[in-house]
Amino acid sequence: MWIQCKCNYKIHDSSDFLFYKGYIVSDQDWFDFLDLVSKAIKSEEKDREKLVSEVYSAGSIKKLIYQCPKCGQLYIEDEQSGELCSFYPDSKVNKRLLESAYGSEWKGYLSAYWYDEIKEWSKHKGVIFPDVNINLENEELYWDDRGEEFEKAYFWDDREKFEKAYYSLFEYLKGRNILRWASLKVNDKRVHEWSNEDKYL
Ligand SMILES: [Zn+2]
């Protein structure tokens, strides 16, 4: 799904870990939620899965919030009407208000695809998407060739340069400890995958 912002930007909500999407919890609910988690941890209930599902369902106290990455406008879910309420920023506002509390230290993703034949939805054979909270332009990366950049994705048509760039970026982000998962696919076949936790593999 996506939201058409009043500035005409399309705010997409079709993947996880979006820096412009968040959740709001009422102060009337927050401490009850922490108490519930704490009770679940201390509980002697043998069925641990039951406790996990109790905590997950209590997570439904959250309300959605989005911030347009282009103009900074906020949209907050109104559960009563089912609509999104919009709020105009009154001055130059931080457009990454909803990014991780860990900021630039947030562990993100690196994914890359290569197709020997250019797909109809692309102009290039290879693309690398680094989803991290640092600005790669400010980093001392050792890419021979950065490819062509568009909206934080990098495009290549030279397979060797593409793979070299992927692995060098992978090593860099892993070395900075800001990566949770990385994947490289060539013609739909996974040729490299790495995760800092088993659950992502
Ligand atoms: Zn906007």
75 CA to centre of ligand 1 in angstroms: 10
pLDDT at 144: 62
Is 79's pLDDT higher than 90? no
Measured in Å, residue 14 CA sits from the centre of ligand 1 at 17
Distance 5 CA to ligand 1 centre (A): 5
Distance CA 109, CA 197 (A): 13
Residue of 77, 61, 60 lying closest to 21 (CA atoms): 77
- Residue of higher predicted confidence among 183 and 120: 183
Report d(CA 61, CA 84) in Å as an integer.
Answer: 17
Q: In whole angstroms, what is the distance from residue 89 CA to residue 82 CA?
A: 22
Distance 70 CA to ligand 1 centre (A): 5
| CA 95 / ligand 1 centre spacing (Å) | 10
Given a cut of 80, whether residue 182 has pLDDT beyond it is yes
CA of 123 to the centre of ligand 1 (A): 27
E-strand ranges in the chain read 2-4, 10-12, 21-24, 63-67, 74-78, 83-87, 108-114, 126-131, 148-150, 153-156, 179-186, 189-195
At residue 153, the pLDDT reads 87
The two three-digit tokens of residue 70, written as one number: 């282009």
Q: What's the gap in Å between 149 CA and the centre of ligand 1?
A: 22
Is the pLDDT at 14 greater than 80? The verdict is: yes
Does position 34 have pLDDT exceeding 90, yes or no?
A: yes
At 36, which helix (H) or strand (E)? helix 27-42
Q: Report CA(55)–ligand 1 centroid distance (Å).
A: 34
Please write the tens of the pLDDT for every residue from 95-153: 999 999 999 999 999 999 999 998 888 889 999 999 999 988 877 776 666 677 777 78
Contact 195, 201 (CB under 8 A): yes
What are the structural domain ranges in the chain?
2-87, 103-200
Q: Indicate if the pLDDT at residue 82 is higher than 70.
A: yes
Burial annotation 131-152 (CB, 10 A radius, 16+ → b, else e): bbbbebeeeeeebeebbeeeee
